[in-house]
Amino acid sequence: MHTLNQVNQPRRKLTLRSMIILVLIVIVAPLIPYSVAAVKEGLSNPNPGAQLWRDVRQRDGTVVGQTQARGVDSGILISKEGEQWRQFRMQQFTPYSAMIFAAVIGAFVLYFLVRGRIRIEGQRSGETIQRTTLVARYIHWFAAVIFVLLALTGLILLYGRWVLIPVLGPEGFSATAIACKNIHNYIGPLFLVSVVLLFFVFVRDSLFNFKVDTKWFLKAGGYLGGSHPSSEKFNAGQKAWFWVAILGGLVLALSGLVLDFANYGQGRILMQDAHIIHSISSVLVIAFFFVHVYLASIGMEGALEAMTSGDVDTNWAKQHHDLWYDEMKGQGGGKQDTEA
């Protein structure tokens, strides 16, 4: 008996060991594929949350998520294009546009210091001729007031951070910026109306005459010296300003409407593109506007009267718009309705 027990005892131990190994295999074996996958994921992406944040920040392209809030671009948490737009506005557009305005204003200050005011040759004659109708003047000033308000509020929003915060403080500039934003947004649609009215009132006299206007451009209107080139009712420079105001005004108005009414399905990219177009076109139009204001006020004697009383001195007309003056005299002179 003793010998038999000694022989059987190792067999019992072997059986128990086998059972333990079998149980371990059954438990561990199904976990092996998951462990291998986890190791591979850990090697390729050590931080489990890294890919999530790469998607959130759009590192690998546009990734649209799922959200309970329904709307345009609501599935995009962070837009990399938005940061690019912000950097462009702050680092490129703002300083470069300021340089353009400074260059234009500086050029006219220098020109005025050297040339002075352009006087009426032979002084005033005491006789006048009608240049604009009452309707034309009303539409002109309607558009001018709207444009000045939009330009002023827009420039405050663009440069106020650097110019007004040191003067008004953060709280004062915040209140000013809010007021400018509301003014800009609410009167913006009226600008489109004014552009359309300007077009129909002044387009007939703003069509280019290749022969006459080319000579005017080649002589720079006589502003840099030499004889004054012949001109129709509007010279080539005024015609150029008209088309800049109309075409640029349409671009400004339409891009502004995209920004004003953001509830018609336009996404972030479209809004950002509209803002860039709106900003660049505004700089170009405002720069031309500075030229227009200078020549119509302190730069040229007698010019502003065309948009105040509607009448201009005949010597002024002969000097700056001789072809138009001859045409008016051929029609009998006097105050005639040539705009409407």
pLDDT higher than 80, residue 74 = no
**Residue 36 confidence (pLDDT):** 65
Report pLDDT for 200: 97
Confidence band, pLDDT 50/70/90 cuts, at residue 145: very high
Is the model more confident about 86 or about 55? 86
Task: Compare 287 and 20 and report the one with higher pLDDT.
Answer: 287
**Would you list the DSSP string of 177-204?**
HHHHHHHHHHHHHHHHHHHHHHHHHHSG
User: What average pLDDT does the segment 117-139 reach?
Assistant: 94
Give the pLDDT confidence score for residue 340 in this predicted structure. 34
On whether the CB atoms of residues 74 and 67 are closer than 8 A, the answer is yes
Contact (Cβ atoms closer than 8 angstroms) between residue 251 and residue 277: yes
Q: What is d(CA 204, CA 125) in angstroms, rounded to the nearest whole number?
A: 29
| Lowest mean per-residue pLDDT among 17-31, 75-89, 102-116, 211-225 | 17-31
pLDDT band at residue 25 using 50, 70 and 90 as cut-offs: confident
Reduced to 3 states (helix: H, G, I; strand: E, B; else coil), residue 130 is strand
Tokens (6 digits) for 115: 């040339």
Q: What is the pLDDT of residues 100-122, one digit of tens each?
A: 999 999 999 999 999 999 999 98
pLDDT digits (tens, 9 = 90+) for 242-257: 999 999 999 999 999 9
For residue 55, what pLDDT band results from cuts at 50, 70 and 90?
Answer: low
User: What's the pLDDT score for residue 20?
Assistant: 72
- 152/282 Cα distance (integer angstroms): 11
Give pLDDT tens digits for 254-292: 999 999 998 777 888 899 999 999 999 999 999 999 999
Residue 256 CA to its chain's centroid (Å): 8
The confidence score (pLDDT) of residue 265 equals 77
Structure confidence at residue 9 (pLDDT) = 52
The lowest-confidence range among 55-64, 133-142, 198-207 is: 55-64
Average pLDDT in the 94-98 region?
Answer: 95
- CA proximity to 275, closest of 82, 125, 62: 82
Mean pLDDT across 193-205: 97
Residue 219 confidence (pLDDT) above 70: yes
- The percentage of residues in the chain with a pLDDT greater than 70, rounded to a whole number, is 78
Query: What percentage of residues in the chain have a pLDDT greater than 90?
Result: 64
pLDDT category of residue 11 using cuts at 50, 70 and 90:
low
227 CB burial (10 A radius; 0-12, 13-18, 19+): exposed
The pLDDT, as a whole number, for residue 43 is: 53
Residue 77 has pLDDT above 80, yes or no: no
